């Protein structure tokens, strides 16, 4: 192992950022280390252009990253904006897993010996370099996930970096709970009995990160960095439709590891051809001790039930709910929900699917509103928000893949259409697939429809007998189907209390009366937990102690002194 | 929920004890909250007699503890000392699990609402009351596990209380990482965006504790209290041969919970008839979200692979090893190992099974010792230590069950007997089954023998080519078979370094050159981890962050202010 001169400096260089994060995860107040505005005033005049050029330069080329055991190349991405990407990556096949996993493990001993502070410094330096490439990453996220540029910059860049930093901060705090050395002195007749003890943080083995199509960086980075900083090697397996953002990520990880004198194969990229089914054999390998997965419930549950040799962290599907009981600001309620349903065409795991509204309507600052008027109010706000096509596409982005379009096309049959989905022509990308949200009114008895996730720009206005039934259906659907988010609108303290209780019992985070610039589908790193690990939608959260504590073990030695 | 006047006082009353524990788990220096000496000078003149009387009073009676859903009674215990116990307990059968688990869950909401500090106070008060019954518990542990009285008092009483306190301290620290409230204020154009947030610690559901025969309290209490204090209900399923210590435990838990105004069914006792196989259906119930298990590898692995709806913490079997390379104190080495192999007739999950010794012998302060002389030295020390029957039984205790005797009787065939096991007549209990350790020399090629656990007073002196082969076999056997403990004797710094590295890589705690009053099979609460969770012998440790962090979730709510 060569000791690079810089690597001890990295922790010092990024100490303030780390300390800010450590303070924030304790206070859970506002904190952000990476500016979310892509403005030239923040990032410099040429940053946007340079980043776009860097992205463009990848198109039609072989990405220069090496993967041990790979065989040939593969190119699987399709931009939701319709532009050809044609980036080729090393193809990992089942036959190459022996070589890949052996290579991944090779550097672990040195990585452990580097020690906690070195590993923290290296991962913080990786974040810093990813930040320097944030415009390139944003373009890559945009053209794989379909997110509009600003959202891709924020959710896929700045906020993802914040979530990664949060995971590193939790991991650092967790590893720091144990002293490296201790003297144990037990009183005894005559001389005390004295032992000197050492405590070493040791990674579990190879960590596997399975990325998703919609948030390739935001959902992969917390697990990736939590595993890496705690001493594990990480194999990153991107979704075949969203490889580039993770290829850049792995590239930067390898570059920094190598500079610090560590084996770059501590982080590797395992790209498969669509349909290769590489995730299953990889996940069951005995070398794999940690798995982070974002994606559908079926495969997430399969991992939880079958990859029992590993710690498995999953974020799956859910049926997010908002209960509408009453409000003192009907217009703001409608506008707030309109934004939530429209952002990224509802393709967030946190987008509200079910809006529970009493059949008798609700009391508002504008007087009583019937069930239909509530629906019309939200529909109207969506209409206004998306009235101008050029502005609408910057909020909606593109539809991530054809399965979403199919679901959307089927959904009007489920009930009475309150707001039709319409196709929008993107002014810049003529082949982009852009759709506005569909809102369908549905009866409470139709639980087989709204009780399952209908991922994409489809939401249901569920007609309930009254708020008590709304609460009951909220409990039932979240308990059985899970949820990443929940919201309530009510001016009645007793109703709020009941819903809070229900949310605690079914284990979902609750947003109350959001009427301003905060939305139920958004969570702020360092303050809001993303997911809870307490309902079927996810078995873990970004980020708490449980998310990091089992990624390493503490091994001791002791001797007399 | 009635609020008992005492319950807020309990945390204050035990605050010093808690603070001592919190400081100790950070420093990992020496700490103990419960005196380990059963001396009348510590516990009072009548304590021992009163405790014995309390134990005796249970014999032949129905233990007055209620279990929802139970059906009739069951009496399954057999004292290894041969005295009749005949304590009857409510019998839990599969048909009664619906009722049991519904009753267990009923009080969880109030238990959560009680809050962190109340729950910590209640659990600390439970420990205090268990401590007041420590002599009764010691007798109960003695007559179910077969441990000699002083060991039962220490390992089953004082040290078990320390381990329970340690788990509570870790859980308290873990729950305290999250503020109950926070204000989030994001800078924005014009006024900042402000949210008020609440964070609530919520238990996962019903926790199941599956006890073992040999250490009914020491191995059950950490999981029991870690789960209870974090907001879960706990069902305790004792080993059919070691019920009484856990019946007393559950009894005390219920008494304190009821006094504090909580539902006593938050802790219940589920006793089965030997062979009922209650653990499997219980472990697979969807209400069960946490399982703590101590026992054989086969069932532990079954739980890990099948109870995937729960967080599963297991302590299973292993092949503990000591490498003997050289020593500057041959006599002390022999005496130290003699004690380890003799204590509780080697029926500890931490007792050394394999002693790796080079065929060419070792260098010592008494000159070169051949392989046979090393064996003879240890055998000689054991002989001296156990020379007097009356004193020997106080170290050996009784053989816990007939399966151990069967294994012991088969073991001489595995190799060349270095020290025969002999039966000792117990001066106080004529039907007690007492055996001294058997030491068998075996060739390194016979890995199919020493590579598996042979639980009980059987150890192997494994003849290796040299210390390098000893290290290689140590790595291999621990990697494949797991280990709770490992030791090394060497005067060579390079050898120690190699063994430390090997121990880190196979994930086992290492004791180096123990020649005094500390033994490889003993771990001190607050300082030594018990198990590592990094090798097949156990998937968790007493106690670290990972042992407590996933026993609860943090659920938030947020609103504008």
DSSP code per residue over B135-163: HHHHHHHHHHH---HHHHHIIIIIHHHHH
Nearest CB partner across the interface for A28, out of B27, B197, B527: B197
State the Cα–Cα distance between residues B298 and B317, nearest whole angstrom.
9
Rounded Cα–Cα distance for residues B60 and B50 (Å): 18
Whether B186 and A534 lie within 8 Å, measured CB to CB = no
The pLDDT, as a whole number, for residue A221 is 98
How many whole angstroms separate alpha carbon B299 and alpha carbon B303?
Answer: 6
Put simply, whether A228 touches B (Cβ < 8 Å) is no
Burial class (CB in 10 A: 0-12, 13-18, 19+), B367: exposed
For testing the chain B interface, which of A35, A111, A195, A290 should be mutated: the one with the most B CBs within 10 Å? A195
Q: Do B553 and A533 touch (CB under 8 A)?
A: yes
Q: Which residues of A touch B500 (CB under 8 A)?
A: 557
- CB contact A182 to B (< 8 Å): yes
Angle at B78 between CA B77 and CA B83, to 5 degrees: 125
Is the pLDDT assigned to residue B3 strictly greater than 90?
Answer: no
Q: How far is A157 from chain B (nearest CA, A)?
A: 19
Q: Which of B283, B17, B303 is nearest to B164 (CA)?
A: B17
B299 touches chain A (CB under 8 A): no
CB–CB of B180/B540 below 8 Å?
no
For A507, the closest of B27, B202, B513 (CB atoms) is B202
C-beta of residue A554 within 8 angstroms of C-beta of residue A178: yes
**A293: helix, strand or coil:** strand
Check whether B8 has a pLDDT greater than 90.
no
Task: Among A106, A553, A559, A560, pick the best mutation site for testing chain B contact (most B Cβ within 10 A).
Answer: A553
| Contact status of A518 with chain B (Cβ, < 8 Å) | yes
Distance of alpha carbon A19 from alpha carbon B16, whole angstroms: 31
Whether the CB of B117 is below 8 Å from some CB of chain A: the reply is no
Question: Which residue does chain B place closest to A523, by CA atoms?
Answer: B558
Closest residue of chain A to B536, computed from CA coordinates: A309
What is the least distance, in Å, from the CA of B408 to any CA of chain A? Answer: 31
In chain A, residues under CATH classification 3.40.309.10 are 321-512
pLDDT digits (tens, 9 = 90+) for A488-544: 999 999 999 999 999 999 999 999 999 999 999 999 999 999 999 999 999 999 999
Tens-digit pLDDT profile for residues A180-218: 999 999 999 889 999 999 999 999 999 999 999 999 999
User: B252-288: per-residue pLDDT in tens?
Assistant: 999 999 999 999 999 999 999 999 999 999 999 999 9
The most distant pair of C-alpha atoms in chain A lies apart, rounded to whole Å, by 87
CA distance B543 to B540: 8
Would you say residue A3 has pLDDT above 50? no
Contact A193/B516 with Cβ under 8 angstroms? yes
CATH 3.40.605.10 domain range(s) in chain B: 13-19+46-284+541-560
Q: Which CATH superfamily is domain B13-19+46-284+541-560 in?
A: Aldehyde Dehydrogenase; Chain A, domain 1 (3.40.605.10)
Note the pLDDT tens digit of each residue in A51-82. Answer: 999 999 999 999 999 999 999 999 999 999 99
- CB of B267 within 8 A of CB of B260? no
Read off the pLDDT of residues A9-45 as tens digits, 9 standing for 90 and up: 999 999 999 999 999 999 999 999 999 999 999 999 9
What is the percentage of chain B residues whose pLDDT exceeds 90?
98
Nearest chain B residue to A171, by CA: B545
User: Which pLDDT tens digit goes with each residue over B76-134?
Assistant: 999 999 999 999 999 999 999 999 999 999 999 999 999 999 999 999 999 999 999 99
The size of the A-B interface in CB pairs under 8 A is 194
Chain B closest-CA separation from residue A45 CA (Å): 22
A552 phi and psi angles, rounded to 5 deg: -145, 170
Q: Tell me the DSSP string of A482-496.
A: --S-EEEE-S-HHHH
Nearest CA in chain A to B308: A305
Among the residue ranges A181-185, B6-10, B518-522, the one predicted with the least confidence is B6-10
pLDDT band at A7 (very low <50, low <70, confident <90, very high): low
pLDDT at position A551 is: 98
Delimiting residues of CATH 3.40.605.10 domain(s) in chain A: 14-316+548-560
Report pLDDT for A1: 44
**In angstroms, rounded to a whole number, what is the distance separating the alpha carbons of residues A24 and A47?**
29
Q: Do B184 and A527 touch (CB under 8 A)?
A: yes
Judge: A515–B560 Cβ closer than 8 Å, yes or no: yes
**Can you spell out the DSSP letters for A14-75?**
THHHHHHHHHHHHH-----SS-----HHHH-TTHHHHHHHHHHHHTTSB-----TT--SEE-
CB atoms within 10 A of CB A370: 14
Within 13 Å and on the Cβ side, how many CA atoms surround A81?
Answer: 21
| pLDDT confidence of residue A303 | 98
Nearest to A38 by CA among A159, A121, A126, A124: A159
CATH class of A14-316+548-560: alpha beta
- Residues in chain B with CB shorter than 8 Å from the CB of A513 are 559-560
Does B559 have pLDDT greater than 80? yes
Tens-digit pLDDT profile for residues B323-362: 999 999 999 999 999 999 999 999 999 999 999 999 999 9
What kind and span of H or E run contains A481?
A: helix A467-481
* pLDDT surpassing 80 at residue B55: yes
Chain B residues near residue A308 by CB distance under 8 angstroms: 304-305, 308
The answer to whether residue A534 neighbours chain B at the CB level (below 8 Å) is yes
A550 and chain B in contact, CB less than 8 A: yes
CATH number belonging to domain B321-512: 3.40.309.10
Rounded alpha-carbon distances, angstroms, from residue A241 to A87, A114, A345, A401, A422: 11, 36, 18, 9, 25
pLDDT at A424: 96
In contact, B310 and B445? CB cutoff 8 Å: no
Q: What ranges make up the beta strands (E) of A238-379?
A: 267-269, 288-294, 311-315, 321-324, 354-358, 362-364, 367-369
**pLDDT, position B5:** 45
- pLDDT for B10-52, tens place per residue? 999 999 999 999 999 999 999 999 999 999 999 999 999 999 9
Alpha-carbon distance B159 to B524, whole Å? 8
Interface probe, candidates B555, B559, B560, chain A, greatest A C-beta count within 10 A: B555
| Chain B CA closest to residue A113 | B501
Alpha carbons A264 and A286: distance in angstroms, whole number:
22
Mean pLDDT across B160-188: 97
Cα B375 to Cα B377: distance, rounded to the nearest angstrom: 5
* B200: chain A residues, CB-CB within 8 Å: 504
């Amino acid at each position: 192992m060569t000791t690079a001169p810089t690597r001890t400096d990295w922790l010092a260089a990024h100490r303030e950022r780390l300390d800010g994060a450590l303070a924030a995860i304790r206070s859970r107040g506002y904190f952000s280390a990476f500016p979310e505005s892509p403005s030239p005033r923040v990032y410099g005049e040429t940053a946007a252009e340079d980043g776009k050029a860097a992205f463009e330069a990848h198109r039609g080329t072989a990405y220069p990253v090496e993967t041990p055991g790979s065989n040939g190349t593969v190119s699987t991405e399709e931009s939701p904006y319709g532009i050809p990407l044609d980036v080729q990556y090393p193809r990992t096949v089942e036959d190459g897993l022996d070589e890949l996993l052996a290579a991944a493990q090779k550097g672990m001993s040195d990585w452990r010996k580097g020690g906690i502070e070195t590993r923290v410094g290296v991962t913080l330096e990786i974040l810093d370099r990813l930040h320097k490439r944030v415009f390139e990453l944003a373009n890559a996220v945009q053209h794989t996930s379909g997110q509009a540029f600003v959202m891709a910059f924020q959710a896929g860049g700045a906020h993802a970096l914040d979530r990664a930093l949060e995971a590193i901060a939790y991991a650092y705090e967790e590893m720091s709970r144990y002293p490296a050395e201790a003297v144990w002195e037990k009183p005894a007749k005559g001389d005390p009995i004295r032992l000197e003890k050492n405590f070493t943080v040791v990674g579990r083995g190879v960590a596997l990160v399975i990325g998703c199509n919609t948030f390739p960086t935001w959902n992969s980075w917390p697990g990736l960095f939590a595993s890496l900083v705690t001493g594990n090697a990480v194999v990153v397996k991107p979704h075949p439709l969203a490889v580039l953002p993770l290829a850049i990520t792995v590239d930067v990880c390898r570059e920094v590891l190598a500079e610090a004198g560590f084996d770059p194969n501590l982080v590797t990229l395992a790209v498969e051809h669509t349909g290769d089914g590489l995730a299953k054999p990889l996940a069951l390998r005995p070398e794999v001790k940690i798995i982070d997965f974002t994606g559908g419930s079926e495969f997430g549950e399969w991992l939880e039930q079958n990859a029992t040799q590993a710690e498995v962290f999953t974020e799956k599907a859910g049926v997010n709910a908002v209960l509408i009981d009453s409000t003192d600001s009907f217009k703001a309620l409608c506008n707030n929900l309109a934004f939530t349903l429209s952002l990224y065409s509802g393709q967030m795991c946190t987008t509200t699917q079910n809006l529970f509204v009493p059949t008798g309507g609700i009391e508002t600052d504008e007087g009583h509103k019937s069930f239909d008027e509530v629906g019309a109010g939200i529909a109207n706000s969506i209409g206004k928000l998306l009235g101008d096509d050029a502005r609408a596409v910057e909020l909606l982005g593109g539809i991530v893949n054809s399965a979403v379009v199919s679901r959307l096309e089927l959904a009007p049959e489920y009930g009475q259409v309150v707001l039709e989905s319409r196709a929008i022509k993107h002014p810049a990308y003529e082949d982009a697939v852009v759709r506005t949200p569909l809102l369908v009114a549905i009866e409470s008895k139709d639980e087989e429809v709204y009780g399952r996730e209908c991922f994409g720009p489809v939401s249901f206005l569920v007609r309930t007998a009254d708020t008590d039934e709304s609460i009951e259906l909220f409990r039932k659907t979240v308990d059985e189907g899970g949820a990443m988010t929940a919201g309530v609108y009510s001016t009645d303290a007793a109703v709020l209390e009941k819903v809070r209780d229900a949310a605690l019992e079914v284990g979902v985070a609750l947003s109350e009366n959001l009427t301003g610039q905060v939305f139920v589908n958004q969570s702020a790193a360092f303050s809001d937990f993303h997911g809870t690990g307490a309902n079927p939608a996810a078995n873990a959260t970004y980020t708490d102690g449980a998310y990091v504590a089992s990624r390493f073990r503490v091994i001791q030695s002791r001797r007399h002194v």
